[in-house]
Chains A and B, each alone.
Chain A
């Protein structure tokens, strides 16, 4: 009787998580495995399908266009994610202080996050526009330059515009994460520290930062993965130009797909997936995230 009961409990437990498992299988596992399989084939619309093993990956390794987009993507992550974390933490610390306008300020900060990336990309395009852009209006008004500047015309300029667009949009998201982390830190700790005569710097370094570590790891994880697969912002703002210098890996894979080569595009996606996966595992390990949870 008792054994029967526990078996039924077990069954009931599994039946509760079954929908979630089914969704994960259908929408995560199947596409990932399918993409991995496709990447091993010559899967081109105008040629017969054929198994070519790691052929697509070999082609990728000797493809300068792929190397260029890999380099851009890595640099983009390295430039935008640290900025987003620092700015996000600063916003969070400011917004955490009690003030009469706190609610309104918090809502304001969230606005960029609520704007779709394609729209914010368009906004930055308008700012950088050569003929009508706000940036050119300002620099000429102030008298910094004689004529308009072609902001997106240099490799550095286009890169900087993309980083700025990403930071503007996602620093608020990081701020909200940190804000949640800050509210979870008990006030008692600060009061005790004050009794022990710890200054504000010490309190920040010894209490706030260590207790924010789990949130920090989550923010780092989210932002790194998101920045790695940047597509919409690049697609709208620079479309990979000039000279392909701002082609992200996602865009490079997309171009392969639209050109009819699903195998090659899948190989690009798998490489992107492996990078994101490796980094995620590393972050969780380094952040000792598993221990924090248990």
Chain B
């Protein structure tokens, strides 16, 4: 009896030792690169990594993340908060950069820029790298690809109703929308002129900042939140009325419309205008797309002509402060932002490079004639407020914007309530 218990214990101990012995050998010098996205994107990253390995002999392991932005962020926050050495290199949405930087999770990059195969600051969009990628005077991330809100429009429908070109002001957009919708409804009952992102999520804040224009939006200065302004009220009333009073945006705008819902709505021919990111362009021009060849791209309208504001989006790469392969990670990051890689990303995935100089590449211009126009949009795109607690404020704003769109509160009530709650958060983190 006793001997059996003893042998059982022996088994347990040896099993434990076997487990310990089986832990993988030291992976020093291996770079773990966390990246998410659609299957095609992931497959492309694999090719980038293989090429880099062939060139340098440094091993890179891809850590597959989900497509959803929130889940990608969570997948990075947990290991970084726990100071785990992997992943070494990762992509961050521009909206979280301030939090990651202020948390002390990002390795300073300034010493490496312009040296040993690394691009210098001047290769990138200067305004972008000096604002969103810089923390306390040092660069902590580099843009891999950039985004800005755009207006897509149906060239054929504008022509059919004798309209001159894409609208330059929100009033024009509304007028065009009403005209075309009235006509198109006869043959297509589900037609709504203007699709945009109104669901309760981060995209809603981006759209709101664009409707509010360069003088609107929210600011935190000296610990004071400014969000309840006449300009913002006007913008929010307009957003609500597009759905309700004017009825030119679909009723499910504030429940279901995120990027993909908006894109497919427009792509299936149900809309005249679409607010979306540049990623929608190659899809609209895809072989099986009903709007192929009928779509145009313009800068977003403003309240007065030329006063449009695109929300800055995009993904930036950084290196973990806790990485145990920093020199190798720097090499990999520089490779990601090299001219060739950036050009190939644009060629194969249709992404807009974070490097400014790539926009003049002839092979890219041949494939995407909109590139110069896009570059202008990105140069002027406005970042969301650069605050470490930005997402806490955004979450509050989303909730109240959504309430105003759903009609459970007036735009005035929504903005003043949002202001009060945002102020409480700012005060707590001061």
Contact = CB atoms under 8 A, between A and B. Distances in A.
A243 B391 contact: no
Interface string A31-48: 000000000000011110
Report the interface size class on chain A: 35 or more
A46 B389 contact: yes
Interface in B376-424: 388-389, 391-392, 395-396, 398-400, 402-406, 408-409, 417, 421, 424
A59 interface: yes
Contacts of B406: 153-155, 241-243, 245
A259 B400 CA distance: 18
Contacts of B399: 65, 240, 243-244, 247
A46 B388 CA distance: 7
A153 B392 contact: no
Contact of B74 (A147, A158, A244, A258): A258
Interface string A42-72: 0011110000000000010011110000000
Contact of A242 (B74, B81, B103, B408): B408
B267 interface: no
- Interface SS of chain B: helix, strand, loop or mixed? helix
Most buried by A among B102, B400, B406: B406
Contacts of B417: 64
Contact of B256 (A129, A147, A258, A262): A129
Interface stretch (B27-35, B247-255, B341-349): B247-255
A241 B254 contact: yes
B73 interface: yes
B424 A130 contact: no
- Interface SS of chain A: helix, strand, loop or mixed? loop
A150 B105 CA distance: 43
A211 B424 CA distance: 53
A65 B421 contact: yes
Contact of B424 (A46, A62, A155): A62
B372 interface: no
A59 B424 contact: yes
Most buried by B among A257, A260, A262: A260
A243 B399 CA distance: 5
Contacts of B252: 129-131, 150, 152-153
A106 to B, nearest CB: 36
Contact of B391 (A64, A150, A240, A259): A259
B201 A260 contact: no
B47 interface: no
A203 interface: no
Interface string A173-211: 000000000000000000000000000000000000000
B250 A242 contact: no
A243 B256 contact: no
Contacts of B265: 131
Most buried by B among A131, A152, A158, A245: A131
Interface in A2-52: 44-47
A213 interface: no
29 contacts: A45-B81, A45-B99, A45-B105, A46-B99, A62-B424, A63-B421, A64-B421, A130-B250, A130-B252, A131-B190, A148-B251, A150-B251, A150-B252, A150-B255, A153-B252, A153-B254, A154-B406, A238-B255, A239-B201, A241-B255, A242-B402, A243-B402, A243-B408, A243-B409, A245-B408, A255-B395, A256-B392, A259-B389, A260-B389
Interface of A: 44-47, 59, 62-65, 129-131, 147-148, 150, 152-155, 158, 238-245, 247, 255-262
Which 3 A/B pairs are nearest by Cβ-Cβ distance? A243-B403, A130-B252, A241-B200
Given A241-B254, A242-B255, 18 more contacts: A45-B77, A45-B102, A46-B104, A64-B417, A65-B399, A65-B421, A130-B255, A239-B199, A241-B200, A241-B406, A242-B200, A243-B409, A244-B400, A258-B74, A258-B77, A258-B391, A259-B389, A260-B388
